[in-house]
Structure 1
């Protein structure tokens, strides 16, 4: 688990689930963290992640996308998974 960005920090992918580091053989998922108080992870954030994912070495159009959001996720987004603050706390127990 890690993140990925190029030398210009654009794009920047918050979450990369891969089989190993520093160079992944297989990328299992990519994700974005948005810790906004007043709105959920929505279409704008999803579209940016879907656009930027192809810049990550080893990722492809079928790589699952995930989100972590303080204020939830818009229900119509085709995410493989999403987590909120309670999920993160539960994972640490």
Structure 2
């Protein structure tokens, strides 16, 4: 008759490997240097701050600069914002 008992040494080895991999992942996450936000160069300004840009968008709303000031449209309810970009100078 064949032995139908599970191989406990194989299960124990798998448990130790899984534990070691989990602990190694946690250790690397705490030891690796943290990445912060990438600084924007000082020369880069947003279109809203650029006096030469008359119209800009973030793909959700359009803003225009006129004699009366800055006016922006109302974004739609399902808009997906992107980076600001100047569309008219």
Where on the TM-score scale, by shorter chain, does this alignment land: which range? under 0.3
Mark the structure with the bigger radius of gyration: 2
TM-score (norm 1): 0.18
Q: Which has the higher strand share?
A: 1
TM-score (norm 2): 0.18
